[in-house]
Amino acid sequence: MTTSSSSWSVLAHREFRLMFLTQFIVQAGATIQVASVDWHIWGLTHDKLALGLVGLVRVVPIIILSLLGGVVSDAVDRRRLLLVTQSLTLIVTAILAIAVLSGHESVLLIYVITAIIAGLVAFDGPARYALLASLIPVEEVGNAARLNVVLFTVTAVLGPLVASVILIFKQSGFNYALSAIAVIPSVAVLRILVAPPVPPGEKREISLQAMKEGLQFIFRIPVLWSSMIMDFIATFFASALALLPVYATEILNKDTVGLLSFAEVRYGLLRAAPFVGAALGAVIMAQYGSRLKQQGEIMLAAVAVYGLATALFGISEIFGASLLALVVVGFSDSVSASIRNALRQVLTPSRLRGRMQSVMTIFFQGGPQLGEFEAGALAQATSTPFSVVSGGFFTVIAVGLIALTIPALRHYREMPIEADPLPTVDPVESVSNTMI
C-alpha cells in the first residue's frame, strides 16, 4: 500500500510538479483540439462514417508505432525524447491552425495532422509516463498515477467548454491555435528539467529482444493483461463520444432555449459532461483510492456501470437526462481508470515502465479510437441510438465474463512490487492468495 493517504503529496517534489503543471496545460490544449476536430469534420461532411474515420486515423499510427515507442523510451534519455515529440507536436498543430485560419481547410488535412499527432503520442506517452514515475520515490507511484487521472479528467472538462464557446463563432482555427500555444510551456520546462540519472546496470537498448521482454513481463501477470483487455473491450463497445455531434444537432435539439439553442453549446456540454463525472471520481480516488480494500471488485463494478450508463445515454432524448447519464459514464470510468493506472505503476519495475505503457497505449487508445470507427459505421448502417445502446450492453456482458474467468483481477489488492520483471512466482497471484 502507498505510504501516503492522499495523492496530492507527490506535488511536493519540484521536478514532478513542474512536469505535472505543464502537462495540465498541454492536455487542456489537446482536448480543445480533439473536440474541435470532431465538430469540424461533422460540419464539413455531415457524414457519420467520416466521424468514425477520425478514430481510425488516430489509432492506426498508435498500433503501428506504440511498441517501438515503448522500447525507445526505455533506451534513450526520456527528457530529450519528450522535447522532440513536444516540439514536433507544436509545429504540426501550428500548421493546422494556420491552414484553417487562412481558409485552406480540408478533411484530408485534418486527417493527416491527426494521424501525425497520434504517431507522436506513441513515443510521447510511454516516455512521459516513465519519466514522471522516475521523478518521485517508488512508494509514491500509485499516488502519482491517481493524480494523473485528475489531470486528464479536469482538462477534459475545460477543453470542450472552451472549444464550444469559440465554435459558436465558427472559428475552429482559433481552437487549433490555442492547442499549439498550450504546448509551448511544456517545451520550455523540458529544456530546464533536471531528470534523475539512469540507475547503474539497467539494460538500455533498442531491439526486438527488448520489445519481447516488455511483452513477456505483461503477459506473465494476469492482472496487467486482463485489465488492459477489459479496458479495450469497454471503450471499443461503449465509445459514444464520436457521435456527440450527431446527438447535439439531430437528437437532443428539441425544446431547447437560450444558450442551449446553439448546437455548439449543446455539443460542448455533452462533450464535457462525462469528464465532469470523471473529475469528481478522480478527485475522490486521489484522496481515498489507496484506502480501498476491494479494488478489483470495485474496478469491475465501475466498468459495468460505465456500460449501463452508456446505454441509458443512447436511448435518452431529453438533454438533461443525457447529460446526467454522461456524468455517470465519466464517474465510473474514472474510478476504474484510477485503479487500473495505479495497478500498472505499482506492478511494473522502473526499467520496463516505458514498454508497459506502450502496450497499454495500444489498448487504452486503440479501444476508444477503433470504437469510434465502429460506432460511426454501425450508426451509418443502422441508427445512432442503436449503435450506442448495443455497445453499452455488450460492455456489461464482457465485464461479467471477465469477472468470472479471471479471478486474479477480481481479487486484486494494491501492494507495491518492485522486483525481477520476470518472476518465477506470479506476484499478483501471491497478492490475491494472501488478501482473499
Q: For residue 427, name the pLDDT band (cuts at 50, 70, 90).
A: very low
pLDDT digits (tens, 9 = 90+) for 297-323: 888 999 999 999 999 999 999 999 999
Q: For residue 416, name the pLDDT band (cuts at 50, 70, 90).
A: very low
- 70 pLDDT more than 80: no
- 177 pLDDT more than 80: yes
- 360 pLDDT more than 80: no
pLDDT digits (tens, 9 = 90+) for 251-293: 998 867 777 778 888 998 998 899 889 888 877 887 776 666 6
pLDDT digits (tens, 9 = 90+) for 203-222: 455 556 666 666 777 777 77
Virtual CA dihedral for 280, 286, 291, 296, nearest 10 degrees? 70
Find the mean pLDDT for residues 73-77: 78
pLDDT digits (tens, 9 = 90+) for 334-351: 888 888 777 776 777 766
Residue-level pLDDT at 422:
34
Residue-level pLDDT at 326:
95
Residue-level pLDDT at 11:
80
Find the mean pLDDT for residues 159-174: 86
Residue-level pLDDT at 424:
30
pLDDT digits (tens, 9 = 90+) for 374-410: 888 899 899 999 999 999 999 999 989 988 888 877 7
Residue-level pLDDT at 109:
95
